[in-house]
Structure 1
């Protein structure tokens, strides 16, 4: 029995080595600073355009309270994601699932997670196309806009995570400058009486508005796949927590500013209130100031979609055992392009889906999924310590 015991252990070690060699993650590395920047841009993403309108639908004048609760949630959720990510910091997400849950269950869990990521990509590329057709380029076909944007995303994903991270590092200062200008130029138009009455609607209204913000925070769980690629492991957790928290804070700032400038009645009628912040600015020597908001949104949206696309391509290549994920980028792009029109027939359907379905879908993967992974890991470690102490 003793020989058989060691033989089984030896077989398991061989499997671990083979899996780690097949899905090596150490060849792609980014710095903790780059991950911090990516986390901010990822959270801001597409949310900066819609969050003010979505939060105010539920929380009314208590949007600032819902936002403060959202910042606290961001800290707790990012801490949860960091704790989960530490379990596979040197393995990779997919190998970890296979080793922990077995080949079939691990693959099923990973496939379900990839479906969540790809659904998110479908929503975002359609959001981008719908915004462009509605506001900026009404005469351009929706299909052409989505195709061009998706092609740029595919090129970015094919260049790799390291290139995307360096590009984010270069564009992030411009993102900060434009965001600062948008806020500062709108401050003279802010009216603090638009925040009154305080605590309107009570706790129920605050909770309802906060849920809309939380649905976007949950999406940052996708970044756990990037976590093993961080070079400075000791700084990775801080970068994760700070990045997500700052990203949510920026969303709260833009939401509060929209309420102060437009008031509740106008904000409820506008689907793109953040973009309207730029349109309301007027200068004798400078027109189309709304391009400031467009630049902020395009920068954050591109990196969020590109990271999600990279995760999808890398994950599918690991599932079908292809060493180079770039091989599957164009097939995935064609697949997502087709699904964006099959699954989302119109902009009104997209709004209905986000308000009715996306929250429950997002909370499943953004809260319950990492809690499940962490609970299983704690049980495994507890049993392992009991066996060691028993011996």
Structure 2
């Protein structure tokens, strides 16, 4: 969703400087016999980290693995637990997660839950980049709430701007790698219904950088588990065109899903400053999903859209309100196209402007019936 080191220093002792000190003992600094002054030693050099090695492990194979095309069909339309673990602190942007939310999602008919996670406040800035143990426990608890209900769960790296802004810094890449080294090891024996999404909307990364990051993360995950499903996307806002522009990481990998986001047109679905519902609007929407399906068929990679939706109002300018009838039409048309073109999709529910579920009252808005019909 669109929203917000120290290194080891090696110091060298200047031998010449030591020698100067020894020769000056007992003689006047003004003596003609004094040696020619020796210039100061060079500034200390800064040691560069090396890329983290992959651990030596016994690669895991999940007995309950399903092929991605089958998973796409079974996941259907799901819901995001947005603004929760992706907030700076859980509870900052929306009410903290409760198990009854997940039960409500299942009762409503959703088949999968995406759990966006931001790690920056929970992982050390210096090597060894340890992740806060309590937060990892919290992530696992929420994942288990989903898996225990036989639903699919997706976890990711979400609003972590530090990797997007400092990708050329090897220490930042090592910090990012540590997240997936930790998750792929900790969750290696979880149900195959747990899916790993590499990164959310990596705005600021070049195409070459996201290609490199996707490959490296797949190497890390595959080192632990041969057949857990991995979800990748393009750079920038993870739009469909961004997906088309990046390389498919390891095209022969059988457990790969491509992903894109769509709030098109943003002037309606995001900030409520234009109407929606004309025949041209609906044709444009259908063409969008048709192009996604065609790309998937051509490349043999199942595809999903793990963020879509329509705002009730622009949260930055709340006077801009989207008409409920137009929002209903937009969502109904979206659902019809998603089903027609065989794309799994995840409704963006942030507990606020984009929400359909009221966490405080455990009730639903009209959007839920459209999404699950």
Greater RCO structure (CA 8 Å; 6+ sep):
1
* Bigger Rg, structure 1 or 2: 2
Q: Note whether the superposition's TM-score is higher than 0.5.
A: no
TM-score, L = length of structure 2: 0.20
TM-score, L = length of structure 1: 0.20
